[in-house]
Structure 1
Amino acid sequence: MKKITITDVAKHAGVSKSTVSQYLNERYDYMGGETKARIEAAIKELNYSPNFLARSLKQKKTNTIGVIVANILHVFSTQIIRAIQDYCSERNFHVIACNADDDPRKEKQFIEMLQAKQVDGIIVFPTGANKSLYQTLIMTNYPTVFIDRMVSGVGIDTVLLDNEKASKLAIQTFLMQGYQRIAMISPPLLPNITPRMERTTGYKQTITENGLSLRPEYIANVETTNVRDHLRKMLALREPPDAMLALNDLVLVEILHYMKENQLQIPKDLAIIGIDDVTFASVYNPALTTIAQPAFAMGKKAAELLLEKISNITKRREGIVYRFEPKIMRRDSV
């Protein structure tokens, strides 16, 4: 069966090829409604499918971007992807999402794969371990935006939360409710994972600024699989914590599992605040107090910055950090 071409559509609609091309590229400024209707009808009647690959090669643009997340299991990551996709879809851009598992090797492979597919730019939750590759992206003017993490010495625009303030909000909330023995559990502290480092700093600073002793036994930086064991050890102390800050959503889930398994009551036995407003927070019993990241606003900002770079709308200094404000969602777990 003969493949239908743009020439066939033009003949069927009684217009020129250039007019059909303008229609396909949504350039309607000087196109009448009747002409648009004839072209649309011709496309449907002939079952014409545009050759996007040929068009992208001609225009040197694919209208596609890549998003590389560190761990797609985080609620924050999925919300970011959704926000980016929503913003890009409205502007006729497609999104390819990749999960790097916080593995520098996978991150490098994904960046190289996306470039090979000629995507117009990428948004990355960087591992921080591929600095030479990041510098190459800068040197070749390849549109790139970082999200959630900063990489020292790399001048790429970055979108992230005010993480220290997120911890500060949580600790202040505990203190206002009369809690004094406030503990914290986070995943392992790695220099390249900005949120963990900054949230831990925020916790320590707020504890000491309020005249409390910084007790090492109240701090655990452990793999998610070890959260329950460390919580058990904390609660077995002679002076166990009466409040707990979970530094992200995966840690929070493990804490909740432990509380349920051991028939402990929230907040009677342990008050809890988690950073990241998990989807079940308001329906959990008791409803969970959380510190919310404006994930959709952050994802939209990252997409906006990237598309500006792709379109060369802005000519400005790179390496700007865009901080977003956390918000406390007060519920019943404190």
Structure 2
Amino acid sequence: MKKVTMLDVANHAGVSKSTVSQYLNKRYDYMAVETKSKIEEAIDELQYQPNIIARSLKVKSTKTIGVIVANILHEFSTQIIRAIEDVCHELGFHIIVCNADENPVKEEKYINMLYAKQVDGIIIFPTGENIDLYKQLQSSKFPIVFMDRLVPEINIASILLDNENASAVAVEEFITNGYSRIGIVTTSAFKNVTPRLERISGYKKAMQKYDLSMVSDYIRSVESDSIQLELKKMLSLPEPPQAILAGNDLALIEILKFVKKAKLSIPGDISVIGIDDVSFADLYNPPLTTIKQPTFEMGKMAAELLLNKIDGADNVLPKNIYRFRPKLIRRSSC
């Protein structure tokens, strides 16, 4: 089949090629309603598809952004992606999603691939280990926004939860319900992942604030596949914790697996609060108390910040680090 061109659309609609071009680029504020209708009908009847690559070269924009997540298995990541996509779709942008698997080598490859594809900007959940590459992007004025993590060595707009406050809210909820022996379990923080470090720090500060003993054996930050073993050790202590804070959704899942395997009850044998309001929280028996991140608002801001940078309008932004407050969703696991 012969490829339908813009000229074909113009001839079919009985207008000039430049008028069709104006319509496709949404410059039709002063275009007659009848003319717009004719072009719309011609596009529909001929099944015309604009040449996106050619248009992007002409306007120096692909109307596409990249999103590189650290680990797509986190429900938080998928919720953020959805929010970003909503904003971009509304404004005529497409997104390409890449999963770095917490691997700086994969992250570097994806950054280079997206840059080569001439995306207009990138939102990254950074591993924090490609500092020279981040700096290169920044020095070339390539639009970039960090999500969920800080990289202290570089000043790039970053969007995060108030992680210390999230842990403090959970500890206070445990205390309110009569628990004093409180532990925290999160996935490994050995790569200096901002949320994990800050949530442990917030837990420690809250325990000190309420003059509760901090037992080192109650604090675990390990790979997901080691969490159940660490829980077994923790609950075998002469004085095991009465309550456990799950530092993220993956840690929460491993805790729930362990509870089922060990035939424990929540909150009878162990009280649990999870940071991240997982989709199954109110379906679990008992329903799980969680600390909710405002994922839609965070993803929306990330998209808007990036699009501002793409439009060259980020010079009016008041700051570079944006913190969102967590919200306690009180259910029955505490």
With structure 2 as the length reference, what TM-score do the two structures score? 0.98
The residue identity in structure 2 corresponding to 1:273 is I
Gaps of 5+ in 2: none
CA distance in 1, matches of 2:297, 2:40: 36
CA distance in 2, matches of 1:51, 1:96: 18
Q: Which residue in the other structure is 1:290 paired with?
A: 290
Shift of 1:283: 0.8
**What are the Cα deviations for residues 238-257 of structure 1, in whole angstroms up to 9, with x where unaligned?**
11110000101011011101
Q: Which residue in the other structure is 2:69 paired with?
A: 69
Contact kept, 8 Å, 1:65 with 1:121, in 2: the verdict is yes
- Indicate the RMSD between aligned Cα atoms, in angstroms: 1.2
Shift of 1:2: 3.0
CA distance in 2, matches of 1:319, 1:70: 24
Q: Which residue in the other structure is 2:321 paired with?
A: 321
Shift of 1:319: 6.7
Moved more, 307-316 or 55-64: 307-316
Shift of 1:191: 5.2
CA distance in 2, matches of 1:316, 1:303: 16
**What are the Cα deviations for residues 90-119 of structure 1, in whole angstroms up to 9, with x where unaligned?**
000000000000100000000000000000
Q: Which residue in the other structure is 1:175 paired with?
A: 175
Aligned positions of 1:204-219 closer than 5 A: 204-219=204-219
SS of the equivalent of 1:315 reads: helix
Q: Which residue in the other structure is 2:281 paired with?
A: 281
Q: 1:104 to 1:222 in 2, by over 3 A?
A: same
Contact kept, 8 Å, 1:84 with 1:299, in 2: the verdict is yes
CA distance in 2, matches of 1:238, 1:329: 32
Q: Which residue in the other structure is 2:258 paired with?
A: 258
Q: 1:161 to 1:92 in 2, by over 3 A?
A: same
Determine if the alignment matches structure 1 residue 237 to structure 2 residue 240.
no
Aligned positions of 1:34-49 closer than 5 A: 34-49=34-49
Shift of 1:314: 3.1
CA distance in 2, matches of 1:316, 1:205: 35
The residue identity in structure 2 corresponding to 1:225 is D
SS of the equivalent of 1:239 reads: coil
CA distance in 2, matches of 1:270, 1:3: 66
**What are the Cα deviations for residues 245-270 of structure 1, in whole angstroms up to 9, with x where unaligned?**
01010110111011111111100100
Determine if the alignment matches structure 1 residue 10 to structure 2 residue 10.
yes
CA distance in 2, matches of 1:260, 1:45: 59
With structure 1 as the length reference, what TM-score do the two structures score? 0.98
The residue identity in structure 2 corresponding to 1:257 is K
CA distance in 1, matches of 2:3, 2:275: 55
CA distance in 2, matches of 1:47, 1:203: 59
Gaps of 5+ in 1: none
SS of the equivalent of 2:314 reads: coil
Aligned positions of 1:1-334 closer than 5 A: 1-190=1-190, 192-316=192-316, 320-334=320-334
Contact kept, 8 Å, 1:186 with 1:222, in 2: the verdict is yes
SS of the equivalent of 1:273 reads: strand
The residue identity in structure 2 corresponding to 1:153 is E
Equivalent pairs counted in the alignment come to: 334
Contact kept, 8 Å, 2:163 with 2:198, in 1: the verdict is yes
The residue identity in structure 2 corresponding to 1:154 is I
The residue identity in structure 1 corresponding to 2:83 is A
The residue identity in structure 2 corresponding to 1:309 is K
Question: Percent of aligned pairs with the same residue?
Answer: 57
